[in-house]
Structure 1
Amino acid sequence: MQITENIVQAGKYKMFYRSAGTGDQTILLLHGIPTNSFLWVHVIPQLAQNYTVIAPDLVGYGASDRSTNDELTLPMQANHIVTLLDALGIQSVHVVGHDLGGGIAQILAVNYTERIESFMVVDGVAFSNWPLPKVVALRYPTAPEFEPSLYFIEKMLREGLFHQELLTPELLNAFLQPFNHPTGPQELLEASLALNHHQTEDIVPGLQKLNKPATFLYGQYDRYLPPYWGNRLKETVPNSTFNILPECSHYSMLDNPLLVSQEIMNHINKILA
């Protein structure tokens, strides 16, 4: 299944996105920090056999336009995503979010309910479990290893994988290259400065009232956001589902893309049945 790469004007930002498939149902895949839509390249072909799949680079990441930290908060990212959907003529989606994207998925489900058919959080931020200490350290680096840099990104990726051998040069380059220029460290710093746990804590009352199909997937060995948080989400969102992904860490869609793809398809198939 061929993945196409496109850039569209979404409001005041040019946003890059990957897409595949022509199904009636649309799946929106959202990444987190410090990755981009390449995170989903091994998942997209599986899903695109039955669905239309859209995976954008969030504003401030990948090949999308950069901005200041006030435009990179999770509520603002949710706004940018809705603007992107409008630009693409897409009325509603099943949203799947990883890391920060998981927080954006929750905000979309609560604040843009009419645009969301269902939502999934995969190893995602929630409640007050973020920003991660590593990401906060970018703001006030106390040692060279915490300074916003390509080394910081590589270290974060390596420590977030269960199967270390899967971090190939191609994969690593896909995540390093967007920040590999003179202003890259400042762009990474801006992304960090945008993050505040109140952005997800404030929507917890809305999560408790949701009537949307929801599934939460967390890697068994996620050292950044342990499965505990998936269970907390299940206890908060009515009639939701929580599954632990065996032999996966924070980047479960890299550790086992076939399993993650199957879990997403199971989630949607149950809704459509």
Structure 2
Amino acid sequence: MDRLTPALRHWQAQGGMVALGGHRLFVAQAGQHGSVLLLIHGYPTSSYDWHPLWAPLATRHRLIAPDLLGMGFSDKPADHTYGIENHADLLEALLDRLGVQQVHIVAHDLGVSVAQEMLARRQTHPLAPRIQSLTLLNGGVCPEAYQPRMLQHLLSSPLGRWIAPRIPQKAFERTITRLFGPQTLPSPALLQDFWALVNHHNGRAISHKTGRFYIDRMALRDRLVGPLLQHVVPVRLVNGAADPNSGAHMAARYCTLVPDADVVSLPGIGHWPQIEAPGQVLQALEEFLQKHDQSG
């Protein structure tokens, strides 16, 4: 039985379901003026990750924040292939459904790879909605530098199908907590929110499928990284340096590949900068958007 927390019920009220490709995506929306921001969340949670930035961003932008298929409030089909390209297909369809012609993308974790795939497509599909900029929060920008946690390795192994529905809440919470900065640890309430999202509509049973994206990402490495090397659009990396998955080591690898990279490093901040340091992320994001917004 689903047990949504009050915070999640409040977030659910920010949006509704949109039918796309035979599935239903939950899409939170806010704001009616300014440039369009597509906010793409990471694994294993949902668009709820953006809630600390939601109200201030909505005063200046039109916000579109979907739950990726298999996560959050979106459908969680057991027989689906949750690849990066599949996620990008549905987000492309969503932008088309909403009549979006140009968009700034803000992405985190898995969402970073989905955004990179969407950018790669622009080089061969020029009629797709124009991406004006990318703001990338902790994720596998350079797949070779990503360091997944043991639980993610186990879920992606042949044992994953058996392990996924049996993950204890305490093991889940330990894994999540270790991704945060030492001074910005998640509250018990936030951990409960995350746990409820993973379990909503029996999502834990498919977590071994939704979490395999880091393997998929390695196979697509050159395609995903190439547009960043070519400076196809302005890109800013906002990096929580204390993240063991994709922190300072990821930013260092990115700067090696892109020597003039625009990187905002947040010392002591972990994997979820938008939750751990929302004020700093908001400042870095708005400064970047003001510089590169050409929607007018």
Structure 2 residue 237 is the aligned partner of structure 1 residue 221: no
Q: Aligned in 2, Cα 1:199/1:69: closer, same or farther, shift over 3 Å?
A: farther
Deviations 1:63-115 (A, max 9, x none): 00113576311121111111111122222211111111111111112213653
Question: Identity over aligned residues, as a percent?
Answer: 26
Which of residues 131, 137, 155 in structure 2 aligns to 1:138?
Answer: 155
Return the alpha-carbon distance in structure 2 between the equivalents of residues 231 and 202 of structure 1. Answer: 18
Q: Do the aligned residues in 1 keep the contact of 2:67 with 2:74 (CA within 8 Å)?
A: yes
Structure 2 residue 72 is the aligned partner of structure 1 residue 62: yes
Deviation at 1:221, TM superposition (A): 1.0
Which of residues 133, 140, 156 in structure 2 aligns to 1:125?
Answer: 140
Deviations 1:129-174 (A, max 9, x none): 34714312223469x8996443343222211122666623442232
Deviation at 1:199, TM superposition (A): 4.4
Return the alpha-carbon distance in structure 1 between the equivalents of residues 247 and 34 of structure 2. Answer: 34
Q: Aligned in 2, Cα 1:23/1:69: closer, same or farther, shift over 3 Å?
A: farther
Structure 2-normalised TM-score? 0.81
Deviation at 1:189, TM superposition (A): 1.4
Structure 1-normalised TM-score? 0.87
1:17 corresponds to: 27
Which deviates more from structure 2 when the two are superposed, residues 178-187 or residues 258-267? 178-187
1:43 corresponds to: 53
Q: Do the aligned residues in 2 keep the contact of 1:19 with 1:52 (CA within 8 Å)?
A: yes
1:191 corresponds to: 210
Which of residues 253, 259, 264 in structure 1 aligns to 2:280?
Answer: 259
Q: Do the aligned residues in 1 keep the contact of 2:140 with 2:146 (CA within 8 Å)?
A: yes
Q: Do the aligned residues in 2 keep the contact of 1:16 with 1:64 (CA within 8 Å)?
A: yes
Structure 2 residue 63 is the aligned partner of structure 1 residue 53: yes
- Gapped regions of structure 1 (runs ≥ 5): none
Structure 2 residue 86 is the aligned partner of structure 1 residue 76: yes
Structure 2 residue 226 is the aligned partner of structure 1 residue 209: no
Return the alpha-carbon distance in structure 2 between the equivalents of residues 227 and 146 of structure 1. Answer: 33
Return the alpha-carbon distance in structure 2 between the equivalents of residues 90 and 181 of structure 1. Answer: 29
| Residues 163-182 of structure 1: pairs in structure 2 closer than 5 A | 167-180=186-199
Structure 2 residue 86 is the aligned partner of structure 1 residue 86: no
Deviations 1:155-213 (A, max 9, x none): 22211122666623442232211333684332111212454132441313333223201
**SS at 1:103 equivalent:** helix
Which of residues 160, 185, 197 in structure 1 aligns to 2:179?
Answer: 160
Q: Do the aligned residues in 1 keep the contact of 2:148 with 2:245 (CA within 8 Å)?
A: yes
**SS at 2:239 equivalent:** strand
Q: Aligned in 2, Cα 1:94/1:166: closer, same or farther, shift over 3 Å?
A: same
Q: Do the aligned residues in 1 keep the contact of 2:45 with 2:71 (CA within 8 Å)?
A: yes
Q: Aligned in 2, Cα 1:60/1:13: closer, same or farther, shift over 3 Å?
A: same
Q: Do the aligned residues in 1 keep the contact of 2:132 with 2:292 (CA within 8 Å)?
A: no
Return the alpha-carbon distance in structure 2 between the equivalents of residues 271 and 78 of structure 1. Answer: 23
Q: Which runs of 4+ in 1 moved over 4 A?
A: 144-147, 163-166
Return the alpha-carbon distance in structure 2 between the equivalents of residues 211 and 46 of structure 1. Answer: 28
Return the alpha-carbon distance in structure 2 between the equivalents of residues 237 and 75 of structure 1. Answer: 24
Deviation at 1:49, TM superposition (A): 1.5
Deviation at 1:11, TM superposition (A): 2.1
Q: Aligned in 2, Cα 1:218/1:147: closer, same or farther, shift over 3 Å?
A: farther
The one-letter amino acid of 2:196's match is Q
Number of matched residues? 272
Q: Do the aligned residues in 2 keep the contact of 1:218 with 1:244 (CA within 8 Å)?
A: yes
Superposition RMSD on alpha carbons, in Å? 2.9
**SS at 1:42 equivalent:** helix
- Gapped regions of structure 2 (runs ≥ 5): 1-10
